[in-house]
Structure 1
Amino acid sequence: MFLSTSTTPNEPNVMIPAQKRKVVVFSGGSAANSLVDEFNEVIEKNNCALTYVIPISDNGGSSSELIRVFGGPGIGDVRTRLVRLIPHTHTNILNLFNHRLPPSPEPAAAEFLTLLTGTSPLYDAIPTPQAMLIRAILSHLHLEILKRNRPPTSTFNFQSASIGNLFLTGARLFSGSVESAIYLLAIMGGVDESKTAVLPAIVSNFSHHISAGLADGSVIAGQNAISHPSEPTALNSNPSGDQADHASIMLNGINHTIEDATLPGSLPTLRHAAIAFSKASEEPLPARIERVWYINPYGQEMRPPPNPKVLEAIGAAEAIIYSIGSLYTSIVPSLILQGVGESIARSNGARFKILLLNGSLDRETGGFSALDFVAAITRAGEESRGHTFQSSESVDENLWSQYVTHLIHLEGQSVPRVNKEELAKWGVECVRLYGRKAGDGVTKGYFDRLKMP
């Protein structure tokens, strides 16, 4: 796909090395992590530089507690990608940043103290200068936690906290820059950013949340509520004993005597910490998602600009890839940012705009076909350019090829339906691959053995 040939009078059909090509991958966190090795193989074989663009709107898991107490971006997906890129030469750093504290608050807090004192076995074999720097960052975070604690009504919950997330937050608070925090983790982990860069879709010290509008007219606020039904775990909604006097004002399930990083009057769904939720069991949405947009803490729509480096990467890219993952919470939040759709649609250099079709449908895409995926990406890009649509209005199919030129899909029972003829009619070429076979001989929709062309 990325190699070029050239002929000369003296040496016909001589293969010449391609110049440093650039690839942009739009993705979320966990799902696309399974393709990191394949993407690494592509850039090595074709002398490419690759840029991952990852949204910061995730407000679930341990990130939700950091957002509740400190505000700031949801950095969980950025962290998972950075850690996945850490080479085997830095295994001990990888293990530390990938480690999670115990799932109960008291043991989790106790283990965090061992990281502060330097007695944690996670520091074994980590060079002393790096270990001391990590301890310093975590100590700074701990100081900020203590300043914000309001016992007994509000204390920081270390339950299931990712050390990488804690480190990135501490580094951001220390430096005042999320980009500096990402750089520090990357450089300590030995990630070669000249080959592979990880860009947050938005550069900000503030939280950015999304809402989804459904076909039945209802609206869901907050990424975690869109993707995964969850139960708040960090706040005590039913105080008893001595806590009752301190936590007596309850409204919409929120304890309003608790101080946190959210503004007064913020939507209750954005104030809840959602540390515990299940990715395995998903309740279906009551209706199909039609649109996703950014909101302020009060639920009002806003149109934030992207990280300027994202636009630069798109402008220099020869290939743009929409990776597997949650369509509306991993891919679309980056595409609807101001200027992103314009950059993709008008990019003269990006000859390949490739959609990796999910191997199965999830809560966000129940009943979708490949046509629906392409239409959703196109609509997001057009909304980024300021175009508005009525609730049930479909996007013009003539625009599809401005955003997607190739669709790569697996062969399997769980794969969304692919109408090759209809896609080809609108300029989208389909490429079929074969997924991994299970023990029963049935081909499943997994990309974990994908070898990119």
Structure 2
Amino acid sequence: MPHQTPARLASPALPMQAMNVTNGKPKDIVVFSGGSAANSLVDVFKTVAENNKSSLSYVIPISDNGGSSSELIRVFGGPGIGDVRSRLVRLIPDDEANTDTEKGAIKAFFNYRLPNDAEKARLEWLDIVEARHALWQHISTPKKELIRSFLNLINLEIVKKVRPSSVFNFSSASIGNLFLTGARLFSGSFESAIYLLSSICQVPQNVSVLPAINTNFSHHISAGLANGTSIMGQNAISHPSIPTALPDVSVNGVSETEEHDSIEDANLPGSLPTLRKQYISFTKSEEEDLPARIERVWYINPFGQEIRPPANPKVIDALHSSQSIIYSIGSLYTSIIPSLILRGVGEAIASTSIKHKILILNSTVDRETGPSSTPFTALDFVAAIARACAESRGSFGTVPTSEYRTYVTHLVHLEGPDTPQVNKAEFSSLGIETIRLYGRKGEDGKGLRYDEKALNQALEATIGKGNVRADKSRRNTLDG
């Protein structure tokens, strides 16, 4: 099927990030990540950027169609904004993180989720909109009224969308997601909405949060498995689901598509039902194995056809002005690769001006990097990244191992019972440096987590001021 490429959206011109150059060489850092997992490493990335006097750009995917974002997408369309909101709020300076200060109160406000019960959630939402909720304490009147204006706008839009066949479900809704959607609808620009929330959260000026695609429309992904089946939609890929085939399922002579077409929402008639369902409630703790390994991820239009959208131009600009890129921890196929397969990204990453291309390896495998009988090795992670970048450049199929170093130059990893296997000699033969860290146990006493100090030292030794030998005397937490 021929690739279909949507037209690039026009957006208001905002000041471009100035290129950070020293001695004619770019010094900026670009981090590819999703939301929650990489949030634990934000302070590490901040320290590394500050020590190297670098700007820091986070590239965040917008294909998530699960959780409360699924209801916003169903009713209003637009990108999956949960990971963008999560990162912006996480970047609020931690020196005033307690809720008795305005910054702490704003962090708590935008991170707040309404109750699971839909009716209780709706009533609590009205208390928030009407400024009667305790969340407003410690937020100054000017900021409170500015925030409320966009919450009132999204509330009005929700009321206008109510139909007998379609009522907005406030269950577990994120207040930050509702605000960001209200700002996007008001301005007509996702980029402007991000700028507004960044300003309110006082995100440092040297840090940018960039959606992988700058768009006012929904973009979904599909995964192809080794057994030939496909799964449509990010939530279905990440969480237990039966592989979705394209043919419609009929019940009593009525197809699923026809049933969904009777509901007034933001989806085009004939859109795949799996892209239109509410995925408000799902479990993250119980992950069933996929029936086969994921081999490839691609973008699809609402009817399931493959498309090849271009990356946000600001992402390409950030890559061209960077000396180092980091593939952070997180879901490989739904947090990292959706940003890499976009047109323009692979070519920019392959540039020789980017000296360090660092993969921080997950401390364990998950549903996307299984099944448990044949878990991904570290080399499998690198191969998936290389293939995604090659596909961004229009090259489909297996990537020769000799080209892996074009996209990954360094591998940072932990070593433990459940960590992906790392063959150091194999990586050495490919010209990829491996750096082993000693981790710490998770809060539940299970698994390993990256120690911030050790990871900071490893990144400093790689990205930093060049004198790696001098650093080794104090790097007792890592094995280079």
TM range (shorter): 0.7 to 0.9
1:119 counterpart = 2:124: no
1:200 counterpart = 2:211: yes
Deviations 1:310-337 (A, max 9, x none): 0000011111000000000000000000
Deviations 1:413-441 (A, max 9, x none): 1110001111111111100000104799x
Summarize the alignment of residues 247-396 of structure 1 with structure 2, pairs less than 5 Å apart: 251=256, 254-346=259-351, 348-366=352-370, 367-389=375-397, 394-396=398-400
CA–CA separation in structure 2 for the residues paired with 1:20 and 1:108: 48
1:83 counterpart = 2:83: no
SS in 1 for 2:448: coil
1:207 counterpart letter in structure 2: S
Q: How has the CA–CA distance of structure 1 residues 314 and 438 changed in structure 2, closer, same or farther, with 3 Å as cutoff? A: closer
1:160 counterpart = 2:172: yes
1:324 counterpart letter in structure 2: I
CA–CA separation in structure 2 for the residues paired with 1:253 and 1:110: 33
SS in 2 for 1:137: helix
How far 1:444 sits from its partner (Å)? 3.4
- Conserved 8 A contact 1:435-1:443: no
What is residue 216 of structure 1 aligned with on the other side?
A: 227
How far 1:212 sits from its partner (Å)? 0.3
CA–CA separation in structure 1 for the residues paired with 2:337 and 2:144: 38
- The percentage of aligned residue pairs carrying the same residue is 60
How far 1:21 sits from its partner (Å)? 2.7
1:68 counterpart letter in structure 2: R
What is residue 11 of structure 2 aligned with on the other side?
A: none
TM-score (norm: length of structure 1): 0.88
SS in 2 for 1:398: helix
What is residue 245 of structure 2 aligned with on the other side?
A: none
Paired residues, number: 414
- Conserved 8 A contact 1:20-1:49: no
Q: How has the CA–CA distance of structure 1 residues 443 and 45 changed in structure 2, closer, same or farther, with 3 Å as cutoff? A: farther
What is residue 161 of structure 2 aligned with on the other side?
A: 148
SS in 1 for 2:49: helix
How far 1:65 sits from its partner (Å)? 0.3
CA–CA separation in structure 2 for the residues paired with 1:329 and 1:417: 21
SS in 1 for 2:287: coil
What is residue 57 of structure 1 aligned with on the other side?
A: 63
SS in 1 for 2:368: coil
CA–CA separation in structure 1 for the residues paired with 2:297 and 2:418: 25
1:175 counterpart = 2:187: yes
CA–CA separation in structure 2 for the residues paired with 1:341 and 1:182: 25
CA–CA separation in structure 2 for the residues paired with 1:55 and 1:335: 9
How far 1:44 sits from its partner (Å)? 2.1
- Conserved 8 A contact 1:250-1:256: no
How far 1:305 sits from its partner (Å)? 0.5
Structure 1: give runs of 5+ residues left out of the alignment. 1-15, 232-247
Deviations 1:229-281 (A, max 9, x none): 269xxxxxxxxxxxxxxxx9662695442111011110010000100011111
What is residue 469 of structure 2 aligned with on the other side?
A: none
What is residue 425 of structure 2 aligned with on the other side?
A: 421
SS in 1 for 2:455: coil
1:377 counterpart letter in structure 2: I
Corresponding residue to 1:227 among 222, 238, 257: 238
What is residue 240 of structure 1 aligned with on the other side?
A: none
Q: How has the CA–CA distance of structure 1 residues 230 and 287 changed in structure 2, closer, same or farther, with 3 Å as cutoff? A: closer
Corresponding residue to 2:150 among 105, 125, 137: 137
How far 1:443 sits from its partner (Å)? 8.6
2:408 counterpart letter in structure 1: V
Deviations 1:275-325 (A, max 9, x none): 001111101000000000000000000000010000000011111000000
What is residue 250 of structure 2 aligned with on the other side?
A: none
1:444 counterpart letter in structure 2: G
1:72 counterpart letter in structure 2: G
- Conserved 8 A contact 2:261-2:270: no
CA–CA separation in structure 1 for the residues paired with 2:78 and 2:159: 18
- Conserved 8 A contact 2:26-2:323: no
Summarize the alignment of residues 425-444 of structure 1 with structure 2, pairs less than 5 Å apart: 425-437=429-441, 444=447
- Conserved 8 A contact 1:413-1:443: no
- Conserved 8 A contact 2:89-2:111: yes
1:188 counterpart = 2:200: yes
CA–CA separation in structure 1 for the residues paired with 2:339 and 2:84: 13
CA–CA separation in structure 2 for the residues paired with 1:310 and 1:261: 28
1:224 counterpart letter in structure 2: N
What is residue 447 of structure 1 aligned with on the other side?
A: 450
2:383 counterpart letter in structure 1: A
1:144 counterpart letter in structure 2: E
* More moved, 155-164 vs 84-93: 84-93
Deviations 1:111-169 (A, max 9, x none): 11011111111111101011001111011101111111103x21000000000000000
How far 1:86 sits from its partner (Å)? 0.8
Deviations 1:188-232 (A, max 9, x none): 11111x22110000000000000000000000000000001269x
CA–CA separation in structure 2 for the residues paired with 1:122 and 1:55: 29
Q: How has the CA–CA distance of structure 1 residues 437 and 169 changed in structure 2, closer, same or farther, with 3 Å as cutoff? A: closer
RMSD of Structure 2 on Structure 1 (CA) = 2.1
